[in-house]
Amino acid sequence: MKPFVVIRRMEKQDNVQCQNVVKDFIMAGAWDAFVSCLFREITLQLIVIVWAIMFIFFGIPLLMCCLAIPVVIGLILFTTYGSYFNKANELAIRGGNNLCWVAEIYESNVFNDSTKSLQIDQFYEDSPGADKNEIRKMKRKIVGTISYKNHLIVDNSAWIYRLAVCPKYPFREIAEQLIVRVLANASDNQLSTVETVTSECDDGIREVYLKLGFTLRLVYHKQIIGNTLKIMKCQIGIDPSMWNQSKDQINLELQ
């Protein structure tokens, strides 16, 4: 039987698996963020500052001051992974049973080393009734999660804040189904808008949202270290009139 995914409400026993998915997903983006930081102006400034300190205050020969380069790179690496680690732990413990959904994959017990290229074209709200004996033999694993809460600023609106997919599985297909499930629930509750935010390193995530009909609402820069180090943020949202179009775009196969 081909692998399929069930999109359902989160239950209490899913909490540990969801936390692991969120942590793995966030930490998977740490390397891209580290590479991005290497090509920022602040990196060159730090190298010059460390170089000057080593030469002026410690009397280290000018040529030996080249050690400032690996020192700064190591500092950036430690800082980047440290910040992502803290973010992963903080976000992992957030979420709720009422407004949180999970993507649970049913797949063969045979080890598959190419899960990222796995073709998943069947999504359900519950496991299909046919071939129950075969389904019992399949391995079940939570590979994605999403949550939303009431918008802090806009009345009668929702805010998506906990979208994560296991890095070993195809992101786009699973993320689309999770987002549409949130949109359907928000539509049933007659919410006026659904919004979220992505950073400059989240191109893949932003593309999924835009494909589903989200539009750019606001672009701003979040200051990390004064005016020297900033991260671009994109606030995107979707209006009720776009929800039905979003559902049609990905052709849900729900039973």
Please give the pLDDT value at position 138: 80
pLDDT of residue 118: 67
Q: DSSP letters of 146-201?
A: EEEEE-SSSTTEEEE---EE-TTS-HHHHHHHHHHHHHHHHHHTT-SEEEEEEETT
Place of tokens 């189904």: 177
**Strand partners for 8:** 102
What domains are defined for the chain?
4-33+90-250 (3.40.630.30)
Distance, in Å, from the CA atom of 187 to the CA atom of 164, rounded to the nearest integer, reads: 22
* Cα 91 to the center of its chain, rounded Å: 10
Q: Closest Cα to residue 55, out of 65, 47, 46?
A: 65
Contact 26, 164 (CB under 8 A): yes
Torsion (CA) 103, 104, 105, 108 in degrees, nearest 10: 170
CB 208 within 8 A of CB 170: no
- Residue owning tokens 């540990």: 16
Per-residue pLDDT of the chain (255 residues; tens, 9 = 90+): 678 889 999 988 899 999 999 999 999 988 888 888 888 888 888 888 888 888 888 888 877 878 888 989 999 899 889 989 998 888 887 765 568 999 999 887 665 555 655 667 677 777 666 566 777 778 889 999 999 888 888 888 889 988 999 998 989 989 999 999 999 888 888 888 999 999 888 888 999 999 888 998 888 777 666 555 677 889 999 975 565 554 555 444 444
Beta-strand pair 229-238/193-199 = antiparallel
Strand pairing class (4-9; 123-124) = parallel
Phi, psi of 59 (to 5 degrees): 65, 25
